[in-house]
Amino acid sequence: MAHHQPELLKRLINYLDDERNDIYLHIDRKSTELRPEDFRSITRSANLFLTERLSVHWGGYSQIRCELLLLKEAARRRYAYYHLISGVDVPLVTQDEFHAFFERIDGKEIVGFARPAISGDELDRFNTYHFFQESIGRKRSALAFAERASLRLQHLLRVSRAKRYRRKYGVSVFQKGTNWFDITDGLARYVLSREEEIRKMYRWTRCCDEVFLQTLVANSPYFDRLFYRGYGSYLSSLRYVDWKRGSPYVFRDRDYEEIIASKCLFARKFDLSVDGRIV
């Protein structure tokens, strides 16, 4: 999933350019920096497929739609694993190490979970209707005031989407974590089989790209197949992301040893205009 930094994206694709890989690239329809024609013939060994372009808005359901689109496109060819990364990720291992790792873990699912129970603020992401999130994104606008008024009214009326979903879909627990993952073909197809349920549950929500997969897994047999059963650790997703120094922090050359010591598969995020040497 990419929307900017074309030169960094080209470096990322170069790192993934291996005959064992097929790469599915989604370029945000709103992007003015990325041109599909610049990426069509960029690989030498890997197959690269450009997907349909969606307008992806921060915090909106379009983020989930984009993930489902990528899964659906890739699942047509059936792979042992499906890996979701952003356009500002960088792999921390060689492709030989990467493929050997997934052969070794024998069908485990890499899905990160933040904590054992979802908090009240996180519950509000989907417990009430966020009718304007797709239009608001990160912006401050008149719609943001309308959104807040709508949410206040829903709280007064004690609207609870979660209560209804518990009854209708048998959801016993809601969970949250990072949206980046490495999942098996079985889990990918399980997710796609629940696409309509996902749409009904998470349309008009806020930042539920960090909720829908974790909740689906936590209420399924796939929870017992997690690679890492802990909470709140970057080891659960094998993505090294620093939320303490930024939102997230942009890694510099001086962070190299720290990143490598993480023993993760990918790190995020990077920006060539901040420090290109680290990449």
Interval 30-45: pLDDT, tens: 999 999 999 999 999 9
Domain extent, residue 46, equals 6-117+171-268
Residue 139 scores a pLDDT above 80: no
- Per DSSP (E only), the strands in 114-205 are 181-184
Mean predicted confidence (pLDDT) in 122-132: 94
What is the DSSP secondary structure assignment for residue 211, as one 8-state letter? T
158 in a structural domain: no
130 in a structural domain: no
CA separation (Å) from 245 to 64, 194, 277? 27, 37, 20
Structure tokens that stand for 221 in this block: 């047999």
Output the pLDDT for position 195: 98
Residue 19 scores a pLDDT above 80: yes
CA trace torsion 255, 258, 262, 266 (10° rounding): 10
Structure tokens that stand for 151 in this block: 């949410």
Output the pLDDT for position 142: 84
Closest by alpha carbon to 184, among 68, 44, 71? 71
Residue 140 scores a pLDDT above 80: no
136 in a structural domain: no
pLDDT confidence of 109, banded at 50, 70, 90? Answer: very high
Mean predicted confidence (pLDDT) in 239-247: 95
Summarised one tens digit per residue, pLDDT across range 5-16 is: 999 999 999 999
What gap in Å lies between CA 11 and CA 211, rounded to an integer?
A: 30
229 in a structural domain: yes
Residue 138 scores a pLDDT above 80: no
Structure tokens that stand for 142 in this block: 């008149």
Summarised one tens digit per residue, pLDDT across range 169-196 is: 999 999 999 999 999 999 999 999 999 9
Output the pLDDT for position 119: 79
227 in a structural domain: yes
Mean predicted confidence (pLDDT) in 105-130: 92
Mean predicted confidence (pLDDT) in 47-56: 98
3-state SS, residue 161: helix
Output the pLDDT for position 163: 93
Number of domains in the chain: 1
